Chains A and B, each alone.
Chain A
Amino acid sequence: MSDTGWTPAWPVTGNARHTRVMASALGAPAGSCREKLASKARPALFLDRPFDRAMNGRTAPYRTFSLGIVVDAVRLLASNPEVVPADADPVVAAASLVDAVLSDGASAHAGARTWAVHAVTSYLEADEYLREDFPGLRPVGTRAVMYKSPDGEVKEVDVWGLWLRDQSTGVAELRMLRQRAIGDARPRDPAVVAVGAKIAADGQPYETDGKRYRPFLPMVDTDGEVRRVRVVDVGLADASYDVLFDGTVEEARELYAHVAAPQVATVLSGGGFSPGRDCDGCYVIEGCPAVPRRGGLLGVVGLATHRRYLTHTRLRDYEICPARYWLTAEAGVPQQRFESLGAARRGILVHAALEWLHARDVAVPCAAADLGDENDLPPVAIAIGALAEEWREVVRYLRHHVDVCALKLSLDWLRSEPSIVAFDNEADVVVSARPDLVAGAGDVVMWRETKTAAIAPPDDDLLLLEQYPQAALGLVLVAAGVVAEGSDALTVHDATGDGTEVVPGIVELEILTPTSARVVRYSTTDAATLQSARILLASRVDPWLRDTAFNPEPGPQCSWCPVQEWCRPELSSNAARAAVAMVVDGYRVDPETGEILPVGGDTTRSGGHAVIDVSADARAGVEAAGTPGVGSAGPSARVRSLAESIVGVSGETSDDDVPF
């Protein structure tokens, strides 16, 4: 137990009396894992586990934190201005800085480099604006508030950003970076601003050898007295900026005491687990009692280059284009957002409606009366924000759901859209899924995925498992015993099973069409089906796990790609998004909705869209012409991924904040 009142739920070794609270921890969104924050705020306290030399030293093939490249480049300019050619164009200057940074360490994906150059260019432009009022501002070293007691306790409060100082006027300025334009970014948490102001007022410069677990080494402060404190946000999308705080030293201290200090204590005291998105990058996941460890869960023969976080969305993105995956999931560059259209919007509304209806009571199944009539929008439609026209379309599907609603079964418990997380420690991959519904009756767990489709699904149940790979993943997760009633799987199952015992359970795939509902049921105790699911999952994960290049795979999907601007800048114009109809390995795909269309239907949508053939043969021709491509996915996976790509519904959004 540390002397800050926090007792980690895993074995620890190291120094619990060294704390370092980053400002971003104070701005963590609601629902964040408080235990992760508390753990991260103790950089010298480690999970106690046997040392494994073979696992150490593995690194990501590219830098994963692209914003870091930007800061490194700007700092390089401050310390070594001759890196930039004299009278260089701003973009050339930015490129010189970025390339100098990348030549002195891990490389960056080409798309991440493109973004970094853009971001540095924007920063330098914003810097010019900001200096107009404060021409004496000069970059200075990093600063933090540090305290070391005589008995060895170390407390540090830090913020991530760029520091400037004007010795003649006593202005101390912190610049924090946003990936988006200031107007598009979510507001800064006041506590983050307060920490920045406090450090600007009272912080000391420090050195670090890069070892996170070592306390900062304070340096003599030669930057002069601080008389005015400024905290500024800089938007790297467009060189926009916003002054978040401009006041005296006393005002900065007061703001910190009232707004931030209580939250610093809260961060240090932990407060519960929240398995899910926060498991990405967690240092102690191997010991976390809320995340079951299942070696071999993914079935893949191989080990990740670095710890990776896997979701269905990420794997789908990888199958569409490895570069898209890397840039969105690992590099964290800003993403363009597209409005959900057609099938995507329909799917979102159907899921939202079911989540709302199922949350009422486990004993109340959906009924026709819940869906309203043609004249009135029912409460559920209003609750999910459906327009009347949209609701009429959604009801065509939902009315068939009524016949097969899972709540008609005799269930003991139910969780709607839960976050299911497990750790495959043998592949070093955190697996996260969010099924539409999990429920239990007696000892049996049921997992249900609901899908909408324009046409009736094929009768081949194994083919459906391939078309809807979330069901295959669900079957593997249920069989591994990581799905349970409580907030984590440990309420009923072992935390450290080797993943080879099969837990009885059911996965249901509910497919709604305008004319029918079909529920396909898969059992974990059916050895052949479970084996098929495992092979499907391993076959999908294998190329993703082994890839170290993450090359782009150009095609029609680029038009809807959220990182097209950084990968293929020529596609960033809206004109390039003109709808095209596609034939993919013999399947006809509506490019605007992502649906696989009925045979013999109208491939070209109204307006006479061109038809693009992205069959394997056509792709081979493209690749032979020298276009880089991985081509790892089979035809069916390609159809599925392309369709989903165009639908473009991502459960994940990039956060433009610094990921501390």
Chain B
Amino acid sequence: MSASITVHVDPSLGRLPAAVSPSQVSTFEQCGLKYWFVQVRGWREPPSQATAVGTLVHDSFEDLYRLPAPERSVDTAHELLRLRAIAMREDPQYEPLLGNQAAAAHARTAVEGLYQLEDPQTLVVDPAGLEQVLIADVSGVPFSGRLDRMTSDGVVRISDYKTTPKQQSPAKLPGALRQLLLYAAAVQASGGPAVDEVELLYPAVPQRVRRPVYPAALNRAVDEFVAMRESTIHSALTGDWNAVTGPLCNYCPFQRWCPAQTPDAPALTSPGSEEGLIAKFGPGRVPQPDQSAAAEPVIDVELLTFDALADDEVAEL
């Protein structure tokens, strides 16, 4: 069972992302306060085994599909995975995961599974359709995101890799599909083709989920996207964020600082809380001195267009 409480924070600390990505919508839906931790304050949890595998598999699939089709053998895919893993070793944030055999096995399973879901050696992929950065105005809300893959074989299809090793519950699919529908809306809003179909690929299961893009679903996804942005603006202005408690709290890195989970924790944005969070997650999104001094929300609704997308946010995509 989930419940929610409203948590008040100092609205002068942090700032809303200039643009909204589909995963932000999911985070906000899961818990408004987590959205504040991650997106407003910029405190990102360090990579977990699951996110590291996700990055590794996504990168190696991108490498695979940049090759000419006949060269995309499963052996080549495994070699690309190995090369990506070697490169990952150089990144200090992945150091705790070095030598993790379970993660390696998970990634290899995903590579094998891809070949059960589709035939990479016949799939027609335009390299321009790989890992495409999308910046668009979707119904007046700046959108940003990175599309895993877009193909066109009579049907314009956008695909998203999900590396979870578990068969997906039907109850979870609508949320995942909504993310793709938002990409479909953004593709069209940015002058691209009308997307006919969206596809979720779970290579580690393996499982494939496809849906036609039909108006009611597309409109609903966009409406929810806009509503989410409006809610975040309201929360950012008032400092009131909705903390949703439930089973997912056990996986939340901010549990120790969350008033809904740890009632005796120091009040959020109080010095005690800030020190602990900064010590754990780094400085995050540091407020500008003049803005924090003014104790006014750093949200300028007029600036919330995709033109205002900061360089570092583009780089993060």
Query: Which residues of A pack against B, CB within 8 Å?
Result: 50, 52-55, 295-296, 299-303, 425-428, 498-500, 527-528, 531, 534-535, 538-539, 542-543
- Residue on B nearest A538 in the bound complex, by CB: B214
Chain A residues within an 8 Å CB radius of B196: 531
With the chains together, A303 CA to B170 CA distance in Å? 7
B177 within 8 A of A: yes
A28 to chain B minimum Cβ distance, whole angstroms, is 30
Q: Which of A50, A425, A534, A535 contacts B170 (CB 8 A)?
A: A425
The residues of B with any CB-CB pair to A shorter than 8 Å are 153-155, 167, 169-174, 177-178, 181, 196-197, 199, 207-217, 220
Would A428 and B170 count as touching, CB distance under 8 A?
yes
Contact B214 A55 (CB under 8 A): no
In the complex, what residue of chain B is closest to A500 when comparing beta carbons?
B210
From the candidates A295, A527, A534, A539, name the one contacting B209 in the complex (CB within 8 A). Answer: A295
Contact between A301 and B178 (Cβ–Cβ < 8 Å)? yes
Contacts of A543 in B (CB 8 A): 216
Question: Chain B interface secondary structure, helix, strand, loop or mixed?
Answer: mixed
Residues B217 and A542 in contact, CB atoms below 8 Å apart: yes
Q: Are B216 and A542 in contact (CB under 8 A)?
A: yes
A578 to B144, CA, bound (A): 59
B153, B174, B207, B209: the one within 8 Å of A302 (CB): B174
Query: Are A531 and B197 interface neighbours, CB within 8 A?
Result: yes
Which A residues are in CB contact (< 8 Å) with B171? 52, 54-55, 303
Q: Contact: A538 with B155, CB < 8 Å?
A: no
Chain B, residue nearest A543 (CB): B216
Nearest-neighbour CB distance to chain A for B217, whole angstroms, equals 4
- The one of B154, B170, B197 in contact with A426, judged by C-beta atoms closer than 8 angstroms, is B170
CA distance A527 to B156 in the complex (A): 11
Tell me the smallest distance from the CB of B248 to a CB of chain A, in Å: 12
Which 5 A/B pairs are nearest by Cβ-Cβ distance? A54-B171, A527-B154, A534-B212, A301-B217, A54-B169
B154 lies within 8 A of A528 (CB): yes
- In the bound complex, how far is the Cα of B213 from the Cα of A539, in angstroms? 10
CB proximity of B37 to chain A, nearest CB, Å: 25
A176 to chain B, nearest CB (A): 38
Chain A residues contacting B169 (CB-CB under 8 Å) are 52-55
| Interfacial chain B residues near A498, Cβ < 8 Å | 207-209
Contact between chains at A299 and B173 (CB < 8 Å): no
Q: Give the CA-CA distance A654 to B119 in the complex, in Å.
A: 49
| Cα–Cα distance between A403 and B73 once the two chains are bound (Å) | 53
**Smallest Cβ-Cβ distance to B181: which chain A residue:** A301
> Could you say which residues of chain B place their CB within 8 Å of the CB of A295?
170, 209
| A528 cross-chain contacts in B, Cβ below 8 A | 154
**Docked complex Cα distance between A648 and B130 (Å):** 52
Q: How many angstroms between the C-alpha atoms of A415 and B215 in the bound complex?
A: 36
* Chain A residue at minimum C-beta to C-beta distance from B180: A301
Shortest CB-to-CB span from B282 to chain A, Å, is 34
Whole-angstrom CA separation of A534 from B177 in the bound complex: 16
Asked if B209 and A303 sit within 8 Å, CB to CB, the answer is no
Instruction: For B167, list chain A residues within 8 Å (CB).
Output: 50
Chain B proximity of A524: nearest CB distance (Å):
13
**CB-nearest residue of chain B to A533:** B212
Which residue on A lies nearest to B217, using beta carbons?
A: A301
Q: In the complex the two chains form, is A531's CB within 8 Å of B216's CB?
A: no
Residue B216 contacts which of A53, A499, A534, A539 (CB distance < 8 angstroms)? A539
Please determine whether A55 and B212 come into contact, CB atoms closer than 8 angstroms.
Answer: no
Q: Could you say which residues of chain A place their CB within 8 Å of the CB of B153? A: 527
Considering the chains assembled together, what is the distance between the CA atoms of A542 and B171 in angstroms? 15
Chain B residues closer than 8 Å to A535, beta-carbon distance: 212-214
- A–B pairs, 21, beta carbons within 8 Å: A55-B171, A296-B210, A296-B211, A299-B211, A299-B212, A301-B174, A301-B217, A301-B220, A302-B174, A302-B217, A425-B170, A426-B170, A427-B170, A500-B210, A527-B155, A531-B155, A531-B196, A534-B212, A534-B214, A535-B213, A542-B217
Closest to B176 in A: A301
CA distance A301 to B199 in the complex (A): 12
| Contacting residues, chain B, for A531 (C-beta < 8 A) | 155, 196-197, 212
Inter-chain contact A301/B211, CB cutoff 8 Å: yes
Q: CA of A271 to CA of B153 in the docked complex: distance in angstroms?
A: 46
Contacting pair A303 B173 (CB below 8 A):
yes
